[in-house]
């Protein structure tokens, strides 16, 4: 694969349950956010929303004042709060803030944050891969720090001897966790939504990484049903 967010649009969909409860407006406040349109940090008086999720996690959603009103900003905050709420608890663990801007620049993860440009989000939505992209970015945010350089992960990388995507291969330290986690989710919890060849490519290419993820016993709520071990029912 070139990148794993493109493998299958059905791994998580808008039909899936969200842990999102609400994101009431909390006023405006000065916040420093990253904006890929200028490829730099910007300090703005952002519209702030306190998102809560039913597993006890919280995030501050910071919306660029360019949206013009708290009502317009709320529409975006709630929309993406609901989508982020579909992600497993383990991926939202370190998502303390969410940045929302206009523009068609790529999303970003890390910095205890998820970065969203809504023009790009529309492209992802049209391709059916908004949730898959959020999984990738949230894996950067919540998994990279503890796992990307861990001996167990590096050993799994070495024994597998291959990467699930050219993106992971080109940036093994930075992208391999984020690129591998979505396929892991697909084969372990969503195998009824992927085809047989996808299932086989993933399980044969990164078996030791899959085992590594299994061993971590991540809390993947609200994605809770383990898939059939025999593989997919969608052919």
**Parallel, antiparallel or unpaired: strands 97-101 and 113-117:** parallel
Condensed to tens digits (0 to 9), the pLDDT of residues 120-149 reads 999 999 999 999 999 999 999 999 999 999
Condensed to tens digits (0 to 9), the pLDDT of residues 142-185 reads 999 999 999 999 999 999 999 999 999 999 999 999 999 999 99
**DSSP element (H, E) containing 48:** strand 40-53
Is there a domain that residue 126 lies in? yes
Is there a domain that residue 183 lies in? no
Is there a domain that residue 91 lies in? yes
Is there a domain that residue 10 lies in? no
Is there a domain that residue 182 lies in? no
Distances (CA, A) of 235 to 85, 185, 192, 232: 29, 18, 9, 7
Is there a domain that residue 224 lies in? no
Tokens read off for 38: 């200028």
Q: Name the residue range of residue 24's domain.
A: 20-130
Is there a domain that residue 210 lies in? no
To the nearest 10 degrees (0 to 180), the angle between helices 196-205 and 207-216 is 80
Average pLDDT score over the chain: 97
Is there a domain that residue 28 lies in? yes
Q: Is the pLDDT of residue 230 over 70?
A: no
Q: Is the pLDDT of residue 235 over 70?
A: no
Mean pLDDT of 75-96: 99
Handedness of CA 15, 21, 25, 28 (dihedral sign): negative
Distances (CA, A) of 173 to 81, 130, 201: 29, 24, 22
Mean pLDDT of 3-11: 97
Q: Residue 38: left (phi > 0), alpha (psi -120 to 50), or beta?
A: alpha
Specify the pLDDT at position 131: 99
Q: Looking at the 3D structure of the chain, how many domains does it have?
A: 1
Q: What is the C-alpha separation between 89 and 216, in angstroms, rounded? A: 13
Condensed to tens digits (0 to 9), the pLDDT of residues 98-119 reads 999 999 999 999 999 999 999 9
């Amino acid at each position: 694969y070139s990148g794993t967010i493109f493998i299958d649009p059905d791994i998580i969909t808008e039909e899936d349950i969200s842990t999102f409860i609400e994101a009431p407006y909390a006023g405006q406040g000065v916040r420093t956010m990253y904006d890929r349109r200028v490829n730099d940090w910007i300090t703005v008086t952002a519209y702030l929303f306190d998102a809560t999720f039913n597993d006890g996690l919280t995030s501050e959603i910071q919306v660029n004042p360019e949206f013009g009103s708290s009502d317009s900003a709320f529409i975006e905050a709630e929309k993406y709060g609901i989508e982020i709420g579909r992600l497993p608890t383990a991926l939202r663990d370190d998502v303390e803030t969410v940045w929302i801007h206009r523009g068609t620049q790529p999303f970003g993860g890390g910095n205890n944050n998820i970065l969203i440009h809504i023009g790009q989000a529309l492209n992802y939505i049209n391709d059916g891969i908004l949730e898959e992209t959020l999984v990738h970015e949230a894996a950067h945010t919540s998994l990279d720090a503890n796992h990307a350089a861990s001996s167990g992960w590096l050993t799994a990388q070495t024994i597998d001897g291959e990467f699930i995507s050219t993106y992971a291969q080109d940036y093994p330290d930075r992208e391999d966790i984020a690129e591998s986690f979505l396929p892991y989710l697909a084969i372990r919890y969503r195998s009824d939504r992927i085809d047989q060849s996808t299932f086989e490519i993933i399980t044969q290419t990164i078996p030791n990484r899959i085992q590594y993820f299994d061993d971590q016993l991540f809390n993947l709520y609200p994605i809770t049903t383990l898939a059939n071990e025999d593989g997919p029912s969608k052919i």
